[in-house]
Amino acid sequence: MNFLVALTAIPLTSVVLSLTKLKVEQLRVVIPMLTWLQLVILTFLSWPALLSNTSVLTFSVDFSIDKIGACFLLLTNFIAASSITHSAWFFANEKLLGRGEEPQHEKLFYVACALFVTAMSFVFLTDNLGLLWVSIEATTLFSAALVYFSRDKHSLEATWKYLIVCSVGIAFALLGIILIFASSQHGAIPGGSMSIRLLVEHAKELQPKLLQLGYIFCLLGFGTKAGVFPLHTWLPDAHSEAPAPASALLSGALLNCALFAICQVTAILKVSEHALLATSLPVIWGALTALAASFFLIHQFGIKRLWAYSSVENVGIMLFAIGLGSAPLFFFQALNHSLAKVALFLLSGNIIQSAGTKDLSHIRGILQVSPSWGITFAAAAAAVTGMPPFGGFVAEWMILSQCENLTQGIAAGVLLFALALSFIAVSLHVGRILWGKPKHQTVVHPTFASTIIPLLLCIFSLLAGITCLPMFFLNQP
């Protein structure tokens, strides 16, 4: 219970402070400090789970955490701390450019971020399918305020699309959870249960038809929230219209939550007597998602939409890993994607402020405008496309090497083609952004401070690839 108190105390403090008469300049200092403090506290409390492959920290009947859950919890809060820290520089520049929102809007940004991160954190702590659904739904409601931050017609359209598509999807997930609960009532567990741990233990006794049907609905529902093709339609608009720090949170943290929910329900089906569905469907769907996203990457006209479709591609890779039954590989791919993609969205926010446009055709010569931005941008793009020696290359190589049967082998071939096509498409776009003569007059003068967070994220991704870090995460059954 102390863990749950620690999880909510600092975010609630951030909410209260943001709603007081403190100036936004003060909040830009205080809120990032609180988010880093939250990360330190959660690291300390979850350390026992991180060091053990088998131990589970139980806080109450419905809340507990294991090693993979602890890893995702800390990754989510690290991404939040990094994004919110960078947001201080971002919003200060928005004000200098004369297009900054009202101070009250920025305060609401911090309120929404605190609630959003708390909802995401609960996804990794709950051992109850019903509470898992509630947490995922809460992330939709709180993050909608971030998408609508600009309060113009484009952000309004993106917000409505996000709410409607994800709400319909999450309704399918609720139906799937009800069916899984019903499958447990047929003699497996007296009275039925939504406990994930109990459902895994009694998986072979669950009513097979209800279990399989429930799994398909959960995959459809949570897959919509994750941005799986062709249910990804909300994602490019939401990521493009949200301010850069919010886009970083949506891509680097929110997508992991929905995929984690898929991983949880997949774990139930995999230990049942009908595991073929959980072995083949996510692998095939993941490969097709990555392939579709790679084609979308070829013809893109907005810099943030480019990285949004790159997120869809990486969702496909992570879904592929879930289908292989390797939660550690799923996390390792998620780790590297989050580090690189957050760096790219934050840098893209810098570039948009400098160029005054999101249009890729008007963004040129970033290396000339700011060498630190250009070099870090190139490194982050290399990391997200899986170039060695970044962690993404190691993760993707491990995922492809885990394929064991013909279906997985064919899907791996499709995935490999998608990775190659994505690499070429992203390289062409990034090359045009970096080189050439700038087509705009720089309004925001780049500073090294605006590069610190993205640069550190790229360094972490590099270290993940060249050290023994993968073995730490993969050293579990």
Q: Would you list the domain boundaries of the chain?
A: 275-477
Whether omega before 389 lies within 30 degrees of 0, making that bond cis, reads yes
Which one, of 288, 282, 322, 305, lies nearest residue 414 by Cα?
288
pLDDT at residue number 443: 57
184 has pLDDT over 80? yes
Mean pLDDT, residues 64-84 taken together = 90
pLDDT at residue number 457: 92
CA distances from 69 to 11, 122, 454 (A): 20, 10, 25
Which one, of 135, 148, 130, lies nearest residue 72 by Cα?
135
Mean pLDDT, residues 61-90 taken together = 89
pLDDT at residue number 469: 55
* Stretch among 60-74, 316-330, 392-406, 442-456 having the lowest mean pLDDT: 442-456
CA distances from 321 to 129, 215, 262, 331, 473 (A): 21, 17, 11, 9, 14
Count Cβ atoms within 10 A of the Cβ of residue 104 and give its class: 0-12 exposed, 13-18 middle, 19 or more buried.
Answer: exposed
Q: What is the pTM of this model?
A: 0.90
* Stretch among 38-52, 202-216, 312-326, 433-447 having the lowest mean pLDDT: 433-447
Amino acid at 75: L
Measured between alpha carbons, how far is 169 from 39 in angstroms, rounded to an integer?
A: 31
3-state class (DSSP) for residue 151: coil
Measured between alpha carbons, how far is 154 from 160 in angstroms, rounded to an integer?
A: 10
* Stretch among 326-340, 355-369, 410-424 having the lowest mean pLDDT: 355-369
pLDDT at residue number 233: 87
pLDDT at residue number 257: 92
Residue 444: phi and psi, rounded to 5, are -90, 125
pLDDT bin (cut points 50, 70, 90) of residue 190 is confident
Helix axes 303-323, 327-355, angle to 10 degrees: 180
285 has pLDDT over 60? yes
Helix axes 153-184, 208-226, angle to 10 degrees: 160
pLDDT at residue number 220: 92
Which one, of 312, 309, 299, 156, lies nearest residue 241 by Cα?
156
pLDDT bin (cut points 50, 70, 90) of residue 433 is confident
Mean pLDDT, residues 295-321 taken together = 91
pLDDT at residue number 175: 92
pLDDT at residue number 101: 55
Mean pLDDT, residues 343-363 taken together = 85
pLDDT at residue number 21: 78
Mean pLDDT, residues 162-184 taken together = 90
218 has pLDDT over 70? yes
Mean pLDDT, the chain, integer: 85
pLDDT bin (cut points 50, 70, 90) of residue 373 is confident
pLDDT at residue number 472: 47
Mean pLDDT, residues 350-361 taken together = 82
pLDDT at residue number 370: 81
Mean pLDDT, residues 390-409 taken together = 82
Mean pLDDT, residues 389-404 taken together = 83
Mean pLDDT, residues 279-284 taken together = 87
For residue 65, what are the β-bridge partners? 57
Identify whether the C-beta of residue 184 lies closer than 8 Å to the C-beta of residue 193: yes
Measured between alpha carbons, how far is 276 from 311 in angstroms, rounded to an integer?
A: 27
pLDDT at residue number 337: 92
pLDDT bin (cut points 50, 70, 90) of residue 477 is very low
8-65 pLDDT, tens digit each: 888 888 888 888 877 888 888 889 999 999 999 888 888 887 877 666 777 777 788 8
